[in-house]
Structure 1
Amino acid sequence: MPTTASVTLESAAFGAGGPDLPQPDNALDSWHRAVALGGRGYYARARAELRRTRLFPDATPTIASLTFSTEGSLLRQLGGHRPAAGYDGAALGCLDGGKPESVLARCDAMTGLAADALGQGRLAVSGRLLERCAAELCDSSLLRTRSWRQRLRFQWVSAELAMASGAPDRALQYAQTGALLAGECPSTRHAIKSDLLVAAARCVSGDLDAAREMGADVLKRCEERGLVPLQWAAAMLLDGIAPGTDAGTVALTCARVIERRGGRFRKPTIVPDGVGIRS
């Protein structure tokens, strides 16, 4: 039976609760703790926890893969698509076999690699990786009942790829599909991120009023929950729509907080991946 600490850490990983997290008793709890820390912008603490996760006696290859995918995500959020690809490649290399847990982790790694390729301008490579991921997710009815996070991340990166490819209508379709999926998932953070993707897609499609309204709502929800990386991303979007507003100040404040917490901003090649944490 799950312990109180396990339930708390899993809930925190999905955006609930505050920054005071219990110590983990096992590798999965440790991974949840790292994800929760990353979601709140504690990058250095999250990276340290991920290294700790791999040292637990019960750390399986699947959990090791998840830790590498998460490290890639932490880099990619701040523009580090090239170094992130090394971690996502390591995540893929950890896995062997067709157990459901391994397949889901493989989808995480492939989606991460697709996002890494997208951020480096390798759009065709990104598309092929997404196609492979989609094939994996459609292969098993068992996976379809357990893969909400992987299916949601697939929609996010597909929306980003469509934006980068100059296909705003398709981008909005993927983003809205993601938002519908997020409405049925247990993660507050993933739901907020999905709404931010819809706002970004509306911006690209020229519906600036809707993008501004949705972005402002996302910004408020992030502030209420202490989701600093997503708050920064929402502020960046709003500042892009209406430069010179308070959003620019909020983005700068969030960036300074992120840097104090160990975040390392890098200049992305194509996509300023300000749309948050992929995990």
Structure 2
Amino acid sequence: MPIASDGLDSWHRAVALGGQGYYAAARAELRRLPGHTSDPVLRSLAASTEGSFLRQLGWHAAASAYDGRAAALALPLDPATPGRAAAVCDALTGLAADALGTGRLALAARLLRRTEQTLGDADWRARLRRHWVGAETALAGGDAATARQEAELGLELAVAAPSVRHQVKSRLLCAAAQLASGEPDLARSNAELVAAQCREHGLVPLRWACAMLRTGLSDSAAATEAQTCENVISRRGGHFR
């Protein structure tokens, strides 16, 4: 992977490293970003990304500090500032996911409604993330129908986007919603596809999440695969809560 030459490159590099579970290298890249740029939009996105890494490992309360910082950087900007809408949406969906992870479903729902009001001209990525957290919030609240609708809307956006990782995560959420909807065979089929794609593209954090889902589908190999992924992630600087 090439060395970052500016703030945007640094952020893209950190996101790519995190997607493959290289958390220590990704965090180091984010720490270098302020030396490349003073742009509040990029610095907000970097803070949201650091929060997402913590959240992926189960540290939702700690993640909220980074997502709060991201919101503080992006919200005061002029609405016409390029990239502001995406940064605000990243921060708010991050805070919603943090609230969800600490059992505050009502707060998560309020933050998602606020995200809807600020999407504006935000790109596909911001809109997709809102659908992801919407699906997760519905699942946590026992609303399988809404979870499935949100997950399927997210997958529609993802398949038209250039990011394999976003497509894989969207399909994983669809599988979770299908399981909650009482369709284990469909969920199993999608989970097996996700697992194969994760192995092919080195998406270790998503491979771990998929293995955890597959344990609920009576997949005898899933627990061992989840432990293998945990070991890899630990060696790469990620520590589960």
TM-score range relative to shorter protein = over 0.9
Q: Give the counterpart of 2:7 among 19, 27, 43.
A: 27
Q: Give the counterpart of 1:69 among 36, 48, 53.
A: 48
Equivalent residue, structure 2, for 1:127 = 109
Q: How many residue pairs are counted as aligned between the two chains?
A: 238
CA distance, structure 1, for counterparts of residue 202 and residue 160 of structure 2 = 22
- What's the offset of the Cα at 1:159? 0.4
Q: Give the counterpart of 1:39 among 19, 30, 47.
A: 19
Greater RCO (Cα-Cα under 8 Å, separation 6 or more): 1
1:54 equivalenced with 2:6 (yes/no) = no
Q: Give the counterpart of 1:212 among 176, 188, 191.
A: 188
Equivalent residue, structure 1, for 2:200 = 224
CA distance, structure 2, for counterparts of residue 87 and residue 220 of structure 1 = 32
CA distance, structure 2, for counterparts of residue 24 and residue 217 of structure 1 = 33
Query: Percent of counterpart pairs with the same letter?
Result: 53
Contiguous gaps of at least 5 residues in structure 1: 1-20, 267-279
Deviations 1:235-279 (A, max 9, x none): 111012215x1111111100100011111101xxxxxxxxxxxxx
Contiguous gaps of at least 5 residues in structure 2: none
Checking the alignment, whether the CA contact within 8 Å between 1:54 and 1:67 is kept in structure 2 is: no
1:252 equivalenced with 2:227 (yes/no) = yes
Equivalent residue, structure 1, for 2:165 = 189
- What's the offset of the Cα at 1:59? 3.6
For 1:94, what is the secondary structure of its paired residue? helix
CA distance, structure 2, for counterparts of residue 94 and residue 181 of structure 1 = 27
Deviations 1:172-202 (A, max 9, x none): 0000010011111111110010000000101
Checking the alignment, whether the CA contact within 8 Å between 1:200 and 1:237 is kept in structure 2 is: yes
1:113 equivalenced with 2:92 (yes/no) = no
- Aligned partner of 1:185: which letter? A
For 2:142, what is the secondary structure of its paired residue? coil
CA distance, structure 2, for counterparts of residue 183 and residue 158 of structure 1 = 18
- What's the offset of the Cα at 1:154? 0.4
Checking the alignment, whether the CA contact within 8 Å between 1:114 and 1:127 is kept in structure 2 is: yes
Equivalent residue, structure 2, for 1:262 = 237
For 2:58, what is the secondary structure of its paired residue? coil
Q: Displaced runs of 4+ in structure 1, greater than 6 A?
A: none
Equivalent residue, structure 2, for 1:4 = none
CA distance, structure 1, for counterparts of residue 19 and residue 185 of structure 2 = 28
- What's the offset of the Cα at 1:100? 3.7
- What's the offset of the Cα at 1:62? 0.6
TM-score normalised by L of structure 1: 0.84
CA distance, structure 2, for counterparts of residue 254 and residue 106 of structure 1 = 32
When you count helix as a share of all residues, which structure comes out higher?
2
- Aligned partner of 1:76: which letter? R
How do 1:64-213 residues align onto structure 2 when only pairs under 5 Å count? 64-95=43-74, 96-97=76-77, 98=79, 99-137=81-119, 140=120, 143=121, 146-213=122-189
Over aligned residue pairs, what C-alpha RMSD do you find? 0.9
